[in-house]
Structure 1
């Protein structure tokens, strides 16, 4: 395996995602959950500098000592940092500075990768690859939020495709027998620590949809007054709907009686046979209730995944984000990667159209707070 080629390919992909941007687009932070694109480019570079070059390249000199404060995300072990909500205030370092930083670190990384790699360093290197791929998905969804909340609805790329057509099937519900099933990462290959601890889970008999919920199905929920009927909502979700005047998925707009939605290809008529996207857990739960169904648990999803198509939307599950049996945080800063977020969040399974090729797998556990919907989140029903 040529790690230098893999490294360069991943690093170039991040920059290709940003290629359509104007310099002003790199700096914007409309909400706390959305980071400026240039921050993502700097943070992923800082990760390789901090966790690989500094410990494993004895003659490496940091590019700029102040960047640890600027680009550290949440690692308490690595020192103080700019608070998340202030990332959009960083007019400096400039975009050119960030690209110079990437070039500097890339050159040092390629020199290091030309030497013998220890097993210890390889483990961190693979984490770095996957970490940058996670940020590539965040780059796309953050760019969409930045452009999609611009009143001009600017086009990111005219040929960008966010969905495929949902084709109706004769028997849409897949039946799964009750029993004990193995859950968690199995075999070789990379996984995150929250996937480890393969274990047996008893699952009752259930059925799960072979397809995602479509935009037309969700339109019916809206037309039937779904956002005005408290009976379908958790109390917290109902409060969210009313406090923020939520009446449709994010990026949906009704103009002159026609539903439109903002995509990375611009503002378009709503494609009714595409999977619904950018919905919160609250909305997913309410829609399932309206259909007299429910969301699957993450264990049901994993058991059924081999029999269904997945990968266009991150799919909300009914499972809280909790550790698997025997979960242990790694020592040091890298132990902060997943474990400390295992509270007040819901698990999402699958992948999305923004997930880099080869980054998804059946055991992957994504997680978000229930109100968030800037990612490509969708709905699959169960009963």
Structure 2
């Protein structure tokens, strides 16, 4: 099956727009910034730019164009992330030692692959195979994930520098209709037999499918994510010193890592500060708390007499809410206190901060991973991970949807991860 010319032009425009955004985000960096890897969980910006290019080269150009000549055959080893079925790859924890290739060569690599992909599409004309369209779509969705990772990784890298450098000097927003933060309320949600998961036209990852039925008891969910001020009350009440609020693994992690507050917070004589992509700022108590682990989110919920929502509860509650909020396109790069105008009683469902759920990351009933190497994209990580929902200020608005399932280990904090509370009604 082939796609029509209108779809081809749409795909070309989407390809050029998303690929150029990666370079726009990287353009704010100095060359010295692009090779830093301050911990094994983060990757250097240069690696993100090269790896997303490798994805198009490896899964489309090498598979669908028999005459394609690789830009540099050694890049197949350097920029493969974790695809064991393809071959060996450079160790993740050592990506920061790759002073070469230079940034100039990485940009040349991107230009080379972009030209080849666009040439392939134009050669197909209106006979682009549906399989190629699907591969380009997943490649673009993959690139949007790495755009977010580039920002979160830069933030962590910069936070380790005593100079506390800024990624960008000013924080801006494109929101045209905002309202001040309103009172937090508890929204009652009817239970019953409901459906979750993706269905219908448009893109989705394999881990969002198939749509299926789940039973939910009646529950309540907070109208707003937890704020810095609310979380500060937990700290001041001795939350990090009271084991009764914590899961066993969480309490062990608190003691081992000596956690006393969220990542990037610092207490000074004149109050609390937090490190942002625009430098260190005085903590705004009305902003959503972020950079907390699942362990911290769960402990705060227990201390509050509440719990975290399951991912099914979260999706069911948010399924009819418009996708509006603070996203990477707004260029704030930080959770905001103000709210995008919406008639829904549930606020800030999308953007600002990813929201931890209580659900382990597992496959849906009758779910099937993609065939071939791309089957490693999501399914191989379905162990010891917790699901997050909703997107963040570093997520693209065009990437997120109510069914989207993000996932990280319970102790991870360097993503823009936050908290929304839930509770039982029975």
How far off is 1:278 after superposition? Answer: 0.3
Q: Which residue of 2 aligns with 1:126?
A: 137
SS in 2 for 1:288: helix
After TM superposition, list the pairs within 5 Å mapping 1:25-40 onto structure 2: 25-40=33-48
Q: Which residue of 2 aligns with 1:344?
A: 384
Q: Distance in 1 between matches of 2:293 and 2:251?
A: 12
After TM superposition, list the pairs within 5 Å mapping 1:175-186 onto structure 2: 175-186=188-199
Task: Spell out, residue by residue over 1:160-194, the C-alpha distance to the aligned partner (whole angstroms, 9 max, x if none).
Answer: 3599987133x611101120100100211000000
Distance 1:81 1:155, change over 3 A: same
Q: Which residue of 2 aligns with 1:145?
A: 156
In the alignment, structure 1 residue 320 sits paired with structure 2 residue 320: no
Q: Which residue of 2 aligns with 1:380?
A: 420
In the alignment, structure 1 residue 67 sits paired with structure 2 residue 75: yes
How far off is 1:56 after superposition? Answer: 1.4
Instruction: Please tell me whether the aligned partners of residues 314 and 350 of structure 1 are also in contact (alpha carbons under 8 angstroms).
Output: yes
The structure 1 residue matched to 2:181, chosen from 167, 172, 179, is 167
Q: How many residues align?
A: 382
In the alignment, structure 1 residue 368 sits paired with structure 2 residue 408: yes
SS in 2 for 1:315: strand
Q: Which residue of 1 aligns with 2:211?
A: 198
After TM superposition, list the pairs within 5 Å mapping 1:326-337 onto structure 2: 326-337=366-377
Instruction: Please tell me whether the aligned partners of residues 277 and 377 of structure 1 are also in contact (alpha carbons under 8 angstroms).
Output: yes
SS in 2 for 1:324: coil
The structure 1 residue matched to 2:246, chosen from 226, 229, 233, is 233
Instruction: Please tell me whether the aligned partners of residues 165 and 274 of structure 1 are also in contact (alpha carbons under 8 angstroms).
Output: no
Task: Spell out, residue by residue over 1:48-89, the C-alpha distance to the aligned partner (whole angstroms, 9 max, x if none).
Answer: 000111111222100011001000000011110001001011
Task: Spell out, residue by residue over 1:234-262, the C-alpha distance to the aligned partner (whole angstroms, 9 max, x if none).
Answer: 11100100111100000100111410001
Task: Spell out, residue by residue over 1:200-253, the C-alpha distance to the aligned partner (whole angstroms, 9 max, x if none).
Answer: 000001000010000000010000000000010011100100111100000100
Q: Distance in 1 between matches of 2:13 and 2:95?
A: 31
Instruction: Please tell me whether the aligned partners of residues 166 and 214 of structure 1 are also in contact (alpha carbons under 8 angstroms).
Output: no
Q: Distance in 1 between matches of 2:172 and 2:392?
A: 12
How far off is 1:357 after superposition? Answer: 2.2
Q: Which residue of 2 aligns with 1:252?
A: 265
Which runs of 5 or more residues in structure 1 are unaligned? none
Task: Spell out, residue by residue over 1:281-339, the C-alpha distance to the aligned partner (whole angstroms, 9 max, x if none).
Answer: 00000000110100000000011013523121110000000000001122210111000
Q: Which residue of 2 aligns with 1:8?
A: 16
SS in 2 for 1:78: coil
Q: Distance in 2 between matches of 1:14 and 1:304?
A: 32
Instruction: Please tell me whether the aligned partners of residues 165 and 275 of structure 1 are also in contact (alpha carbons under 8 angstroms).
Output: no
Q: Distance in 2 between matches of 1:5 and 1:330?
A: 26
Q: Which residue of 1 aligns with 2:324?
A: none
Q: Distance in 2 between matches of 1:216 and 1:165?
A: 19
Which runs of 5 or more residues in structure 2 are unaligned? 1-6, 321-343
Q: Distance in 2 between matches of 1:147 and 1:89?
A: 17
SS in 2 for 1:254: strand
TM-score scaled by structure 2? 0.88
SS in 1 for 2:252: helix
Q: Distance in 1 between matches of 2:22 and 2:219?
A: 40
How far off is 1:342 after superposition? Answer: 0.3
How far off is 1:159 after superposition? Answer: 2.0
Q: Distance in 2 between matches of 1:235 and 1:325?
A: 30
Q: Distance in 2 between matches of 1:167 and 1:330?
A: 42
Q: Distance in 2 between matches of 1:20 and 1:313?
A: 23
Q: Which residue of 2 aligns with 1:76?
A: 84
Task: Spell out, residue by residue over 1:97-145, the C-alpha distance to the aligned partner (whole angstroms, 9 max, x if none).
Answer: 1111111111111101113210111111110010000100001111111
SS in 2 for 1:250: coil
The structure 1 residue matched to 2:220, chosen from 207, 215, 223, is 207
Instruction: Please tell me whether the aligned partners of residues 250 and 279 of structure 1 are also in contact (alpha carbons under 8 angstroms).
Output: yes
Cα RMSD (Å): 1.4
Distance 1:380 1:360, change over 3 A: same
